[in-house]
């Protein structure tokens, strides 16, 4: 048994880790409130001439703020598609044995392993051929490649944690399958759905290579706007830092909403 004193100093470990996590973020924020001259000219822990110009530039320029809107649209579409497609499939995997189930499950997971770099060019050709190039749907569908397998994997874990007697009782009581699924089963695994949605949102929001390949103007994601601006307008670090800082906002909001699911939800299922 660890001594009392050791237990009292346990918080040091997560504290130092969080400090380490916050340092680059602090530096990015620091940069975003400086103008280019100050960034390149002086080294200071806090902005000497505090300015909001970088943020103003982003909120008044449609290329910039449309980037955020585009990203959010396809990320939300992808999260809804991935989770709703994955739900029945995960139920099948957790409850039934059927021809080829194990192979199918592993095949789904292999798609999670496919390097995006491998698929970039063929995806471009495929979605161009279907006239979907530069639409939000294209990116949302393309991200299903890695998000659906993940959602199935997570949900299957949660569903296997629910005793089978729940299903059997409901069927004996005369519930048809879909009614049982929607009314009883889904609320039971709400935490699992929250965790799966969180992961889908996360992986779709942070992915750049495919999103960049599949869009040019209409659906251009914020990450692509950033890389193109970085190369075209020279070395505007302040603007880039502000744009980067703003990309953290949707993530922070999502974390805030699912914080209870993360805390409780992870613990429920096998995941």
Q: In terms of Cα–Cα distance, which of 139, 12, 10, 23 is closest to 82?
A: 139
| Residues in 61-80 that interact with another protein by CB under 8 A | none
Q: How many CB atoms lie within 10 A of CB 131?
A: 9
Closer of 52 and 130 to another protein (Cβ): 130
Query: Alpha-carbon distance 118 to 79, whole Å?
Result: 23
- Residue 138 sits in the site that holds another protein (CB under 8 A): no
**Tokens standing for residue 142:** 């393309």
**Tokens standing for residue 188:** 């039971």
- Residue 57 sits in the site that holds another protein (CB under 8 A): no
Contact stretch for another protein (CB under 8 A) within 11-19, 51-59, 182-190: 11-19
Coil vs helix vs strand at 114: coil
Q: What is the DSSP string of 12-39?
A: HHHHHHHHHHHHHHHHHHHHHTS-HHHH
Give the shortest CB-89-to-another protein separation in angstroms. 4
Closer of 61 and 124 to another protein (Cβ): 124
Closer of 25 and 182 to another protein (Cβ): 25
Q: In terms of Cα–Cα distance, which of 161, 152, 45, 153 is closest to 89?
A: 152
Give the shortest CB-84-to-another protein separation in angstroms. 9
- Binding another protein (rule: CB under 8 A), the pick from 5, 8, 113, 232 is 113
- Residue 219 sits in the site that holds another protein (CB under 8 A): no
Give the shortest CB-265-to-another protein separation in angstroms. 8
Give the shortest CB-174-to-another protein separation in angstroms. 19
- Residue 88 sits in the site that holds another protein (CB under 8 A): yes
Q: Are 214 and 133 contacting, i.e. CB atoms less than 8 angstroms apart?
A: yes
Closer of 122 and 233 to another protein (Cβ): 122
Element (H, E) at 64: helix 62-95
Q: How many CB atoms lie within 10 A of CB 230?
A: 15
How many chain residues touch another protein (CB under 8 A)?
Answer: 99
For the four alpha carbons of 105, 109, 110 and 114, in that order, the dihedral sign comes to: positive
- Residue 166 sits in the site that holds another protein (CB under 8 A): no
Longest dimension (CA), the chain: 75
| Residues in 173-202 that interact with another protein by CB under 8 A | 202
Contact stretch for another protein (CB under 8 A) within 54-62, 182-190, 258-266: 258-266
């Amino acid at each position: 048994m660890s001594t009392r004193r050791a237990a009292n100093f346990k918080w040091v470990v997560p504290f130092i880790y969080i400090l380490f996590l916050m340092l680059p973020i602090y530096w990015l924020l620091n940069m975003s409130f400086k103008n280019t001259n100050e960034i390149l000219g002086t080294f200071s822990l806090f902005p000497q001439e505090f300015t909001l110009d970088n943020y103003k530039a982003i909120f008044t320029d449609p290329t910039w703020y449309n980037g955020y809107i585009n990203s959010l649209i396809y990320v939300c579409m992808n999260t809804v598609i991935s989770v709703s497609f994955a739900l029945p499939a995960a139920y099948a995997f957790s409850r039934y044995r059927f021809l080829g189930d194990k192979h199918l499950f592993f095949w789904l997971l292999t798609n999670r392993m496919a390097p995006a770099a491998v698929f970039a060019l063929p995806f471009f050709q495929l979605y161009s051929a279907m006239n979907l190039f530069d639409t939000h749907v294209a990116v949302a569908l393309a991200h299903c490649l890695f998000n659906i397998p993940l959602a199935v994997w997570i949900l299957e874990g949660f569903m296997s944690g629910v005793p089978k007697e729940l299903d059997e009782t409901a069927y004996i009581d005369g519930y048809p399958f879909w009614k049982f699924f929607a009314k009883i089963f889904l609320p039971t695994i709400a935490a699992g759905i929250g965790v799966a949605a969180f992961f889908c949102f996360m992986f779709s929001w942070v992915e750049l290579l495919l999103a960049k390949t599949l869009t040019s103007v209409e659906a251009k994601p914020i990450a692509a706007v950033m890389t193109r601006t970085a190369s075209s307008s020279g070395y505007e670090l302040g603007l880039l830092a502000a744009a980067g800082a703003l990309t953290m906002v949707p993530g922070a909001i999502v974390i805030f909403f699912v914080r209870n699911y993360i805390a409780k939800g992870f613990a429920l299922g096998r995941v």
